[in-house]
């Protein structure tokens, strides 16, 4: 079997790299200006260009949830959006959840319930759980499990993740804690 | 004294690294910054076997920002001998050398590294590297190839240890069961992909942030392969985003990143893609042939367990696959074999409970089948063949509370409510099944060192080059140290994952708590001794006259006179009086010789309820009770998490996980997280963990057995057995997907 050159690739090579643009991202209430090519994902912009490595890369394909951040309060996979598309939006990452020294209740609950092991999926889980709460769709434990299933935890901390989410719901007087 | 505030061992302390993990401050290998950092992207082979006849890197190199494309044609000269590439966990053979020559040994073999100023350009340039191959026919299956199986010259793991005469035992048997069990290759898939950030200092020394289960293993590998001195390479790994065995060997991104950094004189980061996470070690597929013979009462007269496992063309990977059948039950006649079949794929690698989880899956399913043939409760059958002696070595067990696991597990689960008839329990169209299985895992203590430093402000720093891959090492070591010196937890910090720290073994085999824990305890006892030496010199004060450690107690931040607890001193007070600025102790601990006279194992009994949809064959694991005899539990909170994780892994193994080999291409075709199925939150229901009391003063000074693997062992078999009980259909090939139930 012989693999021959893809002509298309050669053509691509002769074109210059895409030009960069000045992109202003509002992350954790701070505006940051970056010089980015359009092909930079929000995830890579956060991790490699802004040094906000709390947001994790687990697949780069929208399959694991490790990169979950909140955009205008909604949870999204930051690997599936380009940074340039997020100009003007309010981006909250795991680094932006605590208020000074005071952790967000979800962060506290994760510590309390040991809702992690290696900690790599954890920022995504926490952002996802915060997003879940504001969506208000989760009415019971079953809903929590279903709606948190976009966040894989290979360590298998699911039981404790659900307990942490329920705990926070309870604190907020949410009904989803049967 | 149980009423002290510093009795931390056995307490459910929250993780000391918890805050770092929930705030995003915890830094993993790909997250360390460096000035002028460059990015390497790996180009992987599209074929499984053959030769690279041409690599055209011109297009890639023409892109602005691309610094170099490394291939076998322009890589630097490197170490020559196999030995230099052999790491602590290498099986016998010739280790794979990245970019060594034009030969392709497995699909997705790394064949080029593109390095550029930024990640996006490197990634794009990698897509422009053109490779021409001359392919050769590959074989990437072990099915129908058992006749090619061979006995390896050398076992990486324990050699099979048969006994008695199985043929005779089978002739005596009144009931026999014979079957073949199999499972596919599986990949570790830790959430964090393998990554190395190599930071080059001006003086040419390297600081390497690597995803690894042992920084010293990575350091040794780098120094040997690249001919560097230890002083020139420091490897650091404070946090590891899961590994489960994938970090036991240095993976090729480490080699490539170091090579590029040395050649380009730049700092380099290489992160594998999720697809490339399927390009190296994995759990080997096995086919296992089991024959059990028993009396009509269920006493085993013979056990035959022959395992056939995949390995690569270049290394003979073995794991303890079949010896479980020699140690778990009472039986005089045991015949074992563990043979290998080579494939054109990468060498397998230890994956959570290697061998145990697969070998016991076969044995415990076979035992279940035998129980049905005997018309005997599967739990009864286990009790009939219970043994307090490890007959494979003729040693007593250092402790074995497996009976308590059976009892407490069965009680909690409600095993007595099981109708023994398969397919007899249902609710409407939902079939209900109960299954159980036994688990076991070997206990090991490895040589380890730790250093403890007490400073005048009463702060204790303890260090060891071990790892915390999510296991809770940071936390339990802090607990052990704090309790030993009677200091508040907040006064103690434990540092790990740095080659500058005292030597520790790889984090694997469930031995960290036992090994590093013993060293940490001993180092803190070293501090006790040194404090005592100063106390002996005291002419006055509350502790004057104290001569021996036994006379005092380290608790509540104080050194307390046992005969009169009102008399005590703070640790810093003793230091001040002695004029000491720091007290430190570095200690290396090794297993005690008397351990040799015992067999040391943790055990488990796993009870599972499954619900199977009669029409669609969908399976839900609704309840799991896992009763664990794992010695002393240092932290019930993190310990429970370890077992929960193990159960989830067992569920994955039983029902979901399969690295599907696309035979025509010789490639694991489902190489992403959408198609390689692992359990998600919605798959998990009621999981319960019981730790039974188990005292053991043989295993190590702490009495701990380790918990990283015992949680997974037994789970898959229990699920398979429950599925049979629910449906009356025996599936002997994992994972049990719904099509196999149709
Ligand atoms: S990294 Fe974005 S979903 Fe996995
Ligand atoms: S805590 Fe390790 S992947 Fe979730």
CA–CA separation, B651 and B624 (whole Å) = 10
Instruction: Check pLDDT > 50 for residue B635.
Output: yes
Torsion of CA B516, B522, B525, B530, to 10 degrees: -110
Is the C-beta atom of A158 inside 6 A of ligand 2?
A: no
Closest to B690 (Cα-Cα) out of B625, B609, B603, B601: B625
Q: How large is the average pLDDT for residues B193-215? A: 97
**Does the CA dihedral B259-B264-B266-B268 come out positive or negative?**
negative
Helix (H) or strand (E) holding B561: strand B558-561
Q: How large is the average pLDDT for residues A9-23? A: 72
CA–CA separation, B662 and B671 (whole Å) = 11
Q: How large is the average pLDDT for residues B514-540? A: 96
User: In this predicted model, what pLDDT tens digit does every residue of B106-165 receive, in sequence order?
Assistant: 999 999 999 999 999 999 999 999 999 999 999 999 999 999 999 999 998 888 889 999
| CA B289 to centroid of ligand 2, rounded, Å | 35
The ligand with the least distance to the CA atom of A56 is: 1
Q: Which of B542, B571, B590 is the last residue of a domain?
A: B590
Both B103 and B197 in one domain: the answer is yes
Please give the pLDDT value at position A175: 58
CA–CA separation, B24 and B185 (whole Å) = 33
Q: How large is the average pLDDT for residues B27-40? A: 98
Task: Note whether residue B147 is domain-resident.
Answer: no
CA–CA separation, A143 and A133 (whole Å) = 11
Instruction: Check pLDDT > 50 for residue A5.
Output: no
Enumerate the β-bridge partners of residue B38: B268
Both B618 and B722 in one domain: the answer is yes
**What distances in angstroms separate CA B653 from CA A103, B184, B442, B650, B676, one per listed residue?**
36, 9, 20, 5, 11
Per-residue pLDDT band at B3 (split at 50, 70, 90): low
Both B116 and B42 in one domain: the answer is yes
Phi-psi region of B36 (alpha: psi -120 to 50; beta: other; left: phi over 0): left
Q: How large is the average pLDDT for residues B631-647? A: 98
Task: Note whether residue A25 is domain-resident.
Answer: yes
Q: How large is the average pLDDT for residues B605-613? A: 98
Instruction: Check pLDDT > 60 for residue A14.
Output: no
Please give the pLDDT value at position A176: 52
Of the candidates A93, A155, A159, the beta carbon closest to that of B470 is on: A155
Q: Contact B680/A157, CB-based, under 8 Å?
A: no
Is residue B550 within 8 Å of B564, Cβ to Cβ?
Answer: no
Measured from the Cβ of residue B420, the count of other Cβ atoms closer than 10 Å reads 13
Please give the pLDDT value at position B503: 96
Task: Note whether residue A8 is domain-resident.
Answer: no
Q: How large is the average pLDDT for residues A22-29? A: 98
Is residue B279 within 8 Å of B49, Cβ to Cβ?
Answer: no
- Tell which of A156, A158, A178 to mutate to test the B interface (max B CBs under 10 Å): A156
Looking at B463-591, list the stretches that DSSP marks H as alpha helix, in order from N- to C-terminal side: 473-485, 512-536, 571-578
Q: How large is the average pLDDT for residues A95-103? A: 96
Please give the pLDDT value at position B586: 98
CA–CA separation, B573 and B559 (whole Å) = 10
Task: Note whether residue A51 is domain-resident.
Answer: yes
The ligand with the least distance to the CA atom of A115 is: 2
Q: How large is the average pLDDT for residues B618-634? A: 98
Task: Note whether residue B558 is domain-resident.
Answer: yes
Please give the pLDDT value at position B571: 97
Please give the pLDDT value at position A174: 60
Instruction: Check pLDDT > 50 for residue A4.
Output: no
User: In this predicted model, what pLDDT tens digit does every residue of B679-690 receive, in sequence order?
Assistant: 999 999 999 999
B709 is a catalytic site residue? yes
Is the C-beta atom of A89 inside 6 A of ligand 2?
A: no
3-class SS at B381?
helix
Helices A158-171, B636-655: axis angle to 10 degrees equals: 120
Number of domains in chain B: 3
Q: How far away is chain A from the Cα of B249, in angstroms, using its nearest Cα?
A: 19
Is residue A131 within 8 Å of A124, Cβ to Cβ?
Answer: no
Both B613 and B574 in one domain: the answer is no
Of the candidates B192, B271, B684, the beta carbon closest to that of A120 is on: B192
Task: Note whether residue B15 is domain-resident.
Answer: no
User: In this predicted model, what pLDDT tens digit does every residue of B552-577 receive, in sequence order?
Assistant: 999 999 999 999 999 999 999 999 99
Number of domains in chain A: 1
CA–CA separation, B142 and B343 (whole Å) = 7
**Does the CA dihedral B583-B589-B592-B598 come out positive or negative?**
positive
Per-residue pLDDT band at B665 (split at 50, 70, 90): very high
User: In this predicted model, what pLDDT tens digit does every residue of A26-51 receive, in sequence order?
Assistant: 999 999 999 999 999 999 999 999 99
Please give the pLDDT value at position A1: 37
Closest to B421 (Cα-Cα) out of B365, B480, B483, B371: B371
Both B342 and B394 in one domain: the answer is yes
Q: How large is the average pLDDT for residues B220-249? A: 97
Q: Which of B352, B470, B652 to mutate to test the pocket of ligand 2 (most atoms within 8 A of CB)?
A: B470
Task: Note whether residue A178 is domain-resident.
Answer: no
Phi and psi dihedrals of B56, rounded to 5? -105, 110
Closest to A152 (Cα-Cα) out of B716, B640, B192: B192
Give the ipTM.
0.97
CA–CA separation, B251 and B254 (whole Å) = 6
Where are any strands of DSSP class E within B8-64? 38-44, 50-56
Task: Note whether residue B171 is domain-resident.
Answer: yes
Structural domain containing residue A58:
20-172
Q: Token pair for residue B627?
A: 């009763």
Both B204 and B335 in one domain: the answer is no
- DSSP secondary structure string, A28-77? TTEEEEEEE-TT-BHHHIIIIIS--TTS--S-SSSSS-TTEEEETTEEEE
CA–CA separation, B22 and B671 (whole Å) = 29
Q: How large is the average pLDDT for residues B609-631? A: 97
Please give the pLDDT value at position B79: 82
Give A9's DSSP letter.
Answer: H
Is the C-beta atom of A154 inside 6 A of ligand 2?
A: yes
Q: How large is the average pLDDT for residues B489-514? A: 95
Both B286 and B401 in one domain: the answer is yes
Strand order in the sheet with B552-555: B552-555, B558-561, B568-570
Task: Note whether residue A13 is domain-resident.
Answer: no
Look-up of token digits 């007490």:
B454
Please give the pLDDT value at position A2: 40
Per-residue pLDDT band at B358 (split at 50, 70, 90): very high
Q: How large is the average pLDDT for residues A151-162? A: 98
Q: Contact A12/B65, CB-based, under 8 Å?
A: no
Both B519 and B618 in one domain: the answer is no
User: In this predicted model, what pLDDT tens digit does every residue of A116-145 receive, in sequence order?
Assistant: 999 999 999 999 999 999 999 999 999 999
Closest to B303 (Cα-Cα) out of B436, B435, B440, B165: B165
Please give the pLDDT value at position A178: 45
Look-up of token digits 């199925």:
B677
Closest to B185 (Cα-Cα) out of B282, B287, B48, B315: B282
Instruction: Check pLDDT > 50 for residue A15.
Output: yes
Please give the pLDDT value at position B734: 98
Task: Note whether residue B180 is domain-resident.
Answer: yes
Q: How large is the average pLDDT for residues B290-317? A: 98
CA–CA separation, B13 and A23 (whole Å) = 44
Both B571 and B665 in one domain: the answer is no
CATH at residue A66: 3.10.20.30
Q: Contact A159/B682, CB-based, under 8 Å?
A: no
Is residue B437 within 8 Å of B718, Cβ to Cβ?
Answer: yes
| CA B401 to centroid of ligand 1, rounded, Å | 43
Task: Note whether residue B161 is domain-resident.
Answer: no
Both B525 and B381 in one domain: the answer is no
CA–CA separation, B247 and B191 (whole Å) = 13
Task: Note whether residue A132 is domain-resident.
Answer: yes
CATH at residue B205: 3.90.1170.50
Instruction: Check pLDDT > 90 for residue A173.
Output: no
3-class SS at B375?
coil
Task: Note whether residue A153 is domain-resident.
Answer: yes
| CA B272 to centroid of ligand 1, rounded, Å | 14
Percent of chain B with pLDDT over 90: 97
CA–CA separation, B250 and B270 (whole Å) = 13
User: What value does the mean pLDDT of chain B take?
Assistant: 97
Q: Using alpha carbons only, how large is chain B's radius of gyration in Å? A: 27
Task: Note whether residue B213 is domain-resident.
Answer: yes
Closest to A141 (Cα-Cα) out of A175, A117, A173: A175
Q: Enter the pTM of the model.
A: 0.97
Q: How large is the average pLDDT for residues B221-247? A: 97
Per-residue pLDDT band at B488 (split at 50, 70, 90): very high
CA–CA separation, A52 and A93 (whole Å) = 8
Ligand 1 binding pocket, CB closer than 6 Å: A 57-60, 62-67, 77, 79
CATH at residue B501: 3.30.365.10
**What distances in angstroms separate CA A83 from CA A19, A25, A32, B41, one per listed residue?**
14, 8, 12, 21
Both B172 and B298 in one domain: the answer is yes
Task: Note whether residue A66 is domain-resident.
Answer: yes
Q: How large is the average pLDDT for residues B705-734? A: 97
Both B374 and B466 in one domain: the answer is no
Percent of chain B with pLDDT over 70: 100
Task: Note whether residue B14 is domain-resident.
Answer: no
Structural domain containing residue B651:
166-185+282-444+596-741
Is residue B582 within 8 Å of B453, Cβ to Cβ?
Answer: yes
Phi and psi dihedrals of B533, rounded to 5? -55, -40
Q: Contact A3/B132, CB-based, under 8 Å?
A: yes
Q: Contact B15/A111, CB-based, under 8 Å?
A: yes
Q: How large is the average pLDDT for residues B405-414? A: 98
């Amino acid at each position: 079997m012989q693999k021959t050159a893809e002509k298309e690739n050669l053509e691509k090579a002769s074109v210059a790299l895409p030009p960069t643009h000045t992109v202003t991202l509002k992350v954790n209430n701070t505006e940051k200006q970056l010089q980015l090519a359009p092909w930079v994902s929000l995830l890579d912009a956060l991790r490699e260009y802004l040094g906000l490595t709390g947001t994790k890369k687990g697949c780069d394909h929208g399959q694991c949830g490790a990169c979950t951040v909140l955009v205008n309060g909604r949870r999204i996979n930051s690997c599936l959006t380009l940074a340039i598309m997020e100009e003007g939006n309010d981006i909250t990452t795991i680094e932006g959840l605590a208020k000074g020294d005071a952790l967000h209740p979800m962060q506290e609950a994760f510590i309390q319930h040991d809702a992690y092991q290696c900690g790599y999926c954890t920022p995504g889980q926490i952002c996802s759980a915060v997003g879940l709460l504001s969506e208000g769709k989760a009415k019971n434990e079953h809903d929590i499990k279903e709606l948190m299933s976009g966040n894989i935890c290979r360590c298998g901390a699911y039981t404790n993740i659900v307990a942490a989410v329920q705990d926070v719901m309870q604190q907020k007087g949410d009904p989803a804690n049967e | 004294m149980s009423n002290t505030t510093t009795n931390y061992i056995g307490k459910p302390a929250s993780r000391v690294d918890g805050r770092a993990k929930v705030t995003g401050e915890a830094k993993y290998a790909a997250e360390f910054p460096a000035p002028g950092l460059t990015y390497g992207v790996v180009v992987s082979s599209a074929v499984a076997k053959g030769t690279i006849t041409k690599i055209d890197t011109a297009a890639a190199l023409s892109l602005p920002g691309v610094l170099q494309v490394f291939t076998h044609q322009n890589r630097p000269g490197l170490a020559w001998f196999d030995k230099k590439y052999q790491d602590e966990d290498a099986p016998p053979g010739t280790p794979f050398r990245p970019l060594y020559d034009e030969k392709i040994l497995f699909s997705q073999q790394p064949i080029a590294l593109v390095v550029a100023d930024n990640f996006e350009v490197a990634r794009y340039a990698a897509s422009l590297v053109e490779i021409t191959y001359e392919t050769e026919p590959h074989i990437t299956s072990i099915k129908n190839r058992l006749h090619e199986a061979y006995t390896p010259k050398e076992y990486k793991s324990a050699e099979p240890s048969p006994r008695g005469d199985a043929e005779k035992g089978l002739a005596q048997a009144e009931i026999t069961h014979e079957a073949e069990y199999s499972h596919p290759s599986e990949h570790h898939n830790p959430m964090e992909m393998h990554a190395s950030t190599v930071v080059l200092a001006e003086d040419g020394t390297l600081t390497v942030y690597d995803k690894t289960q042992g920084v010293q293993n990575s350091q040794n590998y780098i120094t040997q392969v690249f001919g560097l001195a230890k002083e020139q390479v420091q490897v650091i790994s404070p946090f590891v985003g899961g590994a489960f065995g994938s970090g036991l060997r240095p993976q090729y991104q480490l080699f490539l990143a170091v090579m590029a950094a040395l050649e380009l004189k730049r700092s380099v980061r290489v992160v594998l893609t999720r697809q490339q996470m399927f390009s190296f070690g994995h759990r080997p597929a096995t086919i296992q042939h089991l024959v059990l013979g028993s009396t009509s009462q269920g006493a085993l007269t013979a056990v035959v367990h022959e395992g056939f496992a995949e390995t690569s063309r270049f290394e003979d990977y073995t794991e303890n696959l079949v010896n479980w059948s020699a140690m778990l039950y009472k039986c005089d006649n045991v015949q074992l074999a563990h043979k290998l079949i080579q494939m054109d794929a990468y060498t397998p690698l230890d994956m959570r409970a290697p061998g145990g989880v697969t070998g016991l899956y076969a044995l415990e399913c076979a035992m279940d089948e035998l129980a049905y043939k005997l018309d005997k409760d599967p739990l009864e059958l286990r009790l009939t063949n219970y043994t307090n002696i490890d007959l494979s070595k003729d040693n007593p067990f250092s402790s074995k509370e497996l009976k308590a696991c059976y009892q407490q597990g069965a009680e909690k689960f409600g095993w007595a409510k099981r109708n023994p008839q398969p397919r007899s329990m249902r609710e409407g169209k939902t079939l209900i099944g109960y299954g159980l299985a036994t688990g076991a895992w070997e206990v090991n203590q490895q040589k380890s060192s730790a250093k403890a430093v007490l400073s005048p402000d009463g702060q204790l720093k303890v260090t060891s080059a071990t790892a915390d891959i999510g296991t809770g090492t940071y936390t339990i070591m802090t607990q052990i140290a704090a309790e030993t010196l009677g200091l508040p937890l907040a006064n103690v910090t434990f540092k790990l994952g740095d080659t500058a720290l005292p030597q520790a073994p790889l984090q694997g085999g469930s031995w960290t708590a036992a090994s590093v824990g013993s060293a940490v305890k001993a180092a803190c006892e070293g501090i006790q001794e040194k404090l005592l030496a100063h106390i002996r010199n005291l002419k006055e004060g509350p502790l004057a006259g104290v001569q021996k450690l036994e006379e005092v107690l380290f608790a509540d931040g104080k050194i307390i006179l046992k005969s009169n607890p009102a008399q005590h001193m703070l640790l810093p007070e003793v230091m001040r009086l002695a004029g000491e600025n720091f007290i430190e102790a570095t200690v290396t601990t090794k297993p005690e010789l008397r351990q040799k006279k015992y067999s040391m194992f943790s055990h488990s009994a796993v009870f599972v309820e499954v619900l199977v949809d009669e029409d669609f064959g969908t399976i839900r694991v609704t309840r799991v009770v896992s009763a664990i005899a794992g010695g002393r539990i240092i932290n019930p909170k993190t310990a429970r998490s370890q077992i929960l994780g193990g159960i989830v892994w067992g569920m994955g193994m039983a029902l979901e996980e399969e690295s599907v080999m696309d035979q025509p291409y010789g490639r694991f075709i489902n190489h992403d997280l959408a198609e390689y199925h692992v359990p998600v939150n919605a798959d998990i229901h009621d999981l319960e963990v019981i730790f039974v009391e188990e005292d053991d003063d043989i295993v190590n000074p702490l009495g701990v057995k380790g918990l990283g693997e015992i949680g997974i062992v037994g789970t898959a078999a229990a699920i398979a057995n429950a599925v049979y009980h629910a449906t009356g259909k025996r599936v002997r090939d994992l994972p049990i997907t719904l099509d196999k139930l149709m």
